[in-house]
Structure 1
Amino acid sequence: MSHSSPHAKSRVFYGWFVVAGAFAVTFVGFGCAYTFSVFLEPMQTTFHASLGSVSLVFSVAGFLYFALGIVSGPLADRWGSRQLAIVGMIMMSLGLVIAGVAPNLSTVYAAYGLGIGLGVGCSYVPSIGAVQRWFLRQRGLATGLAVSGISVGTLVMPPLASFLIETVGWRNAYVFLGILAAVIGIGMALLIENDPSDRGLGPDGAIPHHPAHTRHVGGMSIRDAVTSWRFVGLYLACLIGSFGLFIPFVHLVPYAQDHGVPSSSAVFLLSLIGIGSTVGRFLLGGLADRMDRRTAVLVMFIGMAFSQVLWIFSNDFWPLAAFALIFGTFYGGFVALLPSIVMDDFGGRNVSGIIGILYTSVAFGTLVGPSAAGYAFDITHSYTLPILASVCTNVIAACIVAGTGRVPIQLHKAGGARGD
């Protein structure tokens, strides 16, 4: 192929540009979404609403951006990831801007819930799915780098949002974030490409000996993958574990404020989750390339359970800071590992579609967990019950992973489930 030699001679493997594009999309998408805890109190005051009803805004958005992977993943496998990522960033930008001018909480549900939900839902799974096809030997590291945009966004965006709220008010802060999402998100999404074969390459930049071997087609059908016991076990583990997964992102700031932590320090706790998450994605994502990834996921669930036990006994800033760092580390490792497990077990042919289906499990947990924690607090005036429930769900998820991790997968193609 005459066009493959310029790419072959490129000094930087283009897969790393795809990683950069996916990093930016996750930075913008989840960074803006995880500012919600900072906006919670101003919106409660403005709309005279309960904690549970305002928390439901985040739950609706979280449900949509994980559930929509079941649609956006297969579409990306068929049409390409870049287009969907761009559409997602446009929708997210519009949702933030409209939320900033919303006259009532119902409009915030529609704008933030649908804008953030549809925006991240269209862009996240396609972006991460594309990264899987570009790498083989360093897949865990590449995925960790791509999804570290979530943790860096969690580190950077809440303090920025807090500053904007104090400076220009929560409404203008949302408008500013919407403009930022459009500039960074759309611009960087242009770097995403679906498959290295489009540049005459194989995974990791290898030059195929035969043009017919360029496309990375190995792997199971979606039906065969999702009906396998290993997928079912992973799905159930993620479903149960996710009920408590996002409670800290919504309720850690008000929890800290209720225990006398100043507002600025309480917001910084979200940034500490981001710092821990960044460490987890880089360190644990890279380590998982050298060990069994399902064992690593089991460790992530146990680590998150342990951190939430610490949360129960944390009543001032420093213990809460320790919780935030530990929880963030294991949460970051968990998010970094899931796409690579799908690629390892089921191959690259339908990787975005299978990831999208897996993430519907997280969607249901996200819909129920944060809002249920808010309503539990409205009734009991304590977060003890939802935190204890989060500990239990993580332990149950770890047991499911341990029980199903060694179940064999029936291979339906000569290329094998890995699609190598």
Structure 2
Amino acid sequence: MSIDLKGSTPGLPPAVIDDESRINNESHNIDTSERDDESCAYPEGGLAAWLVVLGSFFGTVVAFGMMNTVGIFHQYLSEHQLKDYNESTIGWIFSVYVFLSFFCGIQIGPIFDAHGPRLLILAGSVLMCASMLLLGLCTKYWQFMITFGILGGIGTSLIFTPALSAVSHFFLVKRGNATGIAAAGGSVGGIIFPLSLQRLFPLVGFAWATRIIGFMFITCCCIATGLIRSRLPGKEGGSVLPDLGILRDRSYALLTVGIYMMEWALFIPITYLTSFAASTGVLPPEFSYQILAIFNAGSCLGRLAAGFIADRLGRFNSMIAALALCTATTLSLWLPTSLLTPDPTSASSKAVIEALCIVYALIFGFASGSNISLTPVCVGQLCDTNEYGRYYATCYTIVSFGTLTGIPIAGSLITASGGHYWGVVVWTFICYVLSLGCFVWSRAERVGWKLGVKF
């Protein structure tokens, strides 16, 4: 087995790729005898394996949990330290953070292959903890950019790329389930951190609130560093470089565009749901923090369910269904809420807006939980296993630039519409429609337009 392809994924790593590859080996003319022999050598459980999953869970609590909490920091900074800056300018801090979180994984993967996860996670832990502990000292824009955007982004990638990749050393047949449990830590962090910050900001202030979160990071990172380890021997020389020539494959090119549009849209609700709730003027301030926790509760369920459903319906089919649900909820729930004119004196107006926000956050969170976890599998279905690293690196080198620009574009739309959010909602909807269309077309290029085909 080519381990260098396992560690090179900046999003959810190809921990579930092999199971899908086995299903499609016949169509790709891959000999499965070697893989079947290898599956016997994988522990598929036991104390050591599940301790690695536990360590990865705590690692993603910090890494993905931070990513799922950017909306809270965006809202607070826009009202306090950076209140003199417009939405788009503030958004660049968080877009740089997300961009580095994904883009750096392409380079971190080969290092994991050669040297294992311990030093990478230790370095990421130092950066993440330093980022959060220093955040309370920041007062200027450039300080937030360096501390949160750059240090936090690189630290996030250094933690979650090897943390989730290490799970693949211990599981093959049960890899999807084990990785789903580990990745769910990010949603748990996305519930804990917003609710904690809701209480801490008014109680102890911004500086000590971020320090307390930093102490939580230290605890989780110590557990992750102590428990996560590799099982397979290191492999030097694993280099995964983008290759634009493979975009001549129409199905793969369409998939790349589809993932680009999806990532363009995904982080807009994550970042702006909090500020949107606050902007209505009829919802209590604490609700704007709780809405992100509700979103992450739905996302936690979505991540756990994604692999289970995809195994039965097909990876592309499940991804298309999830994108359709994201599109439908954005149009039917978030858009009407953004167009309503709230009446501060009307209890019914408040109840309608609050109900729409909660239902949207929960359903969209559930649907979008698979947006990151299933995309590596979809890429893996379009290539042989020994080409996966090249295909994934090419795809996410392009896609990562979508994560860099999506949040500032949304901020510009809010500014252009006079502080209203309907423009952001329409932009999110359009991106999801285009993503859905590209996924459907990409699937049709391989298996035709018949709905009943499992793919």
The reply to whether TM is greater than 0.5 is: yes
Partner of 1:237: 258
* 1:141 is the counterpart of 2:160: no
* 1:170 is the counterpart of 2:206: yes
Q: 2:327 aligns with which of 299, 305, 308?
A: 305
SS in structure 2 opposite 1:194? Answer: coil
Equivalent pair of 1:140/1:340 in contact (CA under 8 Å)? no
Partner of 1:150: 186
Q: 2:128 aligns with which of 87, 92, 97?
A: 92
CA distance in 2, matches of 1:151, 1:370: 20
Equivalent pair of 2:42/2:169 in contact (CA under 8 Å)? no
Equivalent pair of 1:243/1:366 in contact (CA under 8 Å)? yes
The change in CA–CA distance for 1:225 and 1:243 in structure 2 (over 3 A counts) is: closer
CA distance in 2, matches of 1:120, 1:162: 23
| 1:317-336 alignment runs, 5 A limit | 317-336=354-373
Measured on the aligned residues, the alpha-carbon RMSD in Å equals 3.0
* 1:288 is the counterpart of 2:324: no
Equivalent pair of 2:243/2:390 in contact (CA under 8 Å)? no
Task: Please tell me the residue identity of whatever aligns with 1:227.
Answer: I
Q: 1:36 aligns with which of 62, 70, 84?
A: 70
Q: 1:275 aligns with which of 282, 291, 297?
A: 297
CA distance in 2, matches of 1:185, 1:27: 9
Task: Please tell me the residue identity of whatever aligns with 2:196.
Answer: L
Partner of 2:95: 59
- What are the superposed Cα offsets for residues 351-383 of structure 1, whole Å, 9 maximum, x if unpaired? 677655544444322221222111211221211
Alignment TM-score, normalising by the size of structure 1: 0.82
Q: 1:372 aligns with which of 406, 409, 413?
A: 409
Equivalent pair of 1:143/1:340 in contact (CA under 8 Å)? no
CA distance in 1, matches of 2:408, 2:54: 33
Q: 2:246 aligns with which of 227, 234, 238?
A: 227
Partner of 2:35: none
* 1:257 is the counterpart of 2:278: yes
> How far 1:289 moved relative to its partner?
2.4
The change in CA–CA distance for 1:383 and 1:9 in structure 2 (over 3 A counts) is: closer
* 1:46 is the counterpart of 2:81: yes
CA distance in 1, matches of 2:43, 2:373: 30
The change in CA–CA distance for 1:407 and 1:139 in structure 2 (over 3 A counts) is: farther
Partner of 1:389: 427
Task: Please tell me the residue identity of whatever aligns with 1:319.
Answer: L
* 1:83 is the counterpart of 2:119: yes
CA distance in 1, matches of 2:67, 2:219: 17
CA distance in 2, matches of 1:118, 1:272: 27
Q: For structure 2, which runs of at least 5 residues remain unmatched after alignment?
A: 1-40, 341-352, 448-455
* 1:338 is the counterpart of 2:375: yes
- What are the superposed Cα offsets for residues 180-199 of structure 1, whole Å, 9 maximum, x if unpaired? 2122124213322334x45x
- What are the superposed Cα offsets for residues 13-55 of structure 1, whole Å, 9 maximum, x if unpaired? 5333322222211111122233332233432322332222222
The change in CA–CA distance for 1:362 and 1:166 in structure 2 (over 3 A counts) is: farther
SS in structure 1 opposite 2:138? Answer: coil
Alignment TM-score, normalising by the size of structure 2: 0.76
SS in structure 1 opposite 2:81? Answer: helix
The change in CA–CA distance for 1:119 and 1:296 in structure 2 (over 3 A counts) is: same
Q: How many residues are matched?
A: 384
Greater shift after overlay, 296-305 or 34-43? 34-43
> How far 1:118 moved relative to its partner?
0.5
Q: Percent of aligned positions with the same letter in both sequences?
A: 25
The change in CA–CA distance for 1:382 and 1:275 in structure 2 (over 3 A counts) is: same
The change in CA–CA distance for 1:62 and 1:117 in structure 2 (over 3 A counts) is: same
> How far 1:322 moved relative to its partner?
0.5
SS in structure 1 opposite 2:420? Answer: coil
Partner of 2:109: 73
Q: 2:168 aligns with which of 127, 132, 141?
A: 132
Greater shift after overlay, 387-396 or 231-240? 231-240
Partner of 1:201: none
- What are the superposed Cα offsets for residues 38-81 of structure 1, whole Å, 9 maximum, x if unpaired? 23343232233222222221111111111111211222223223
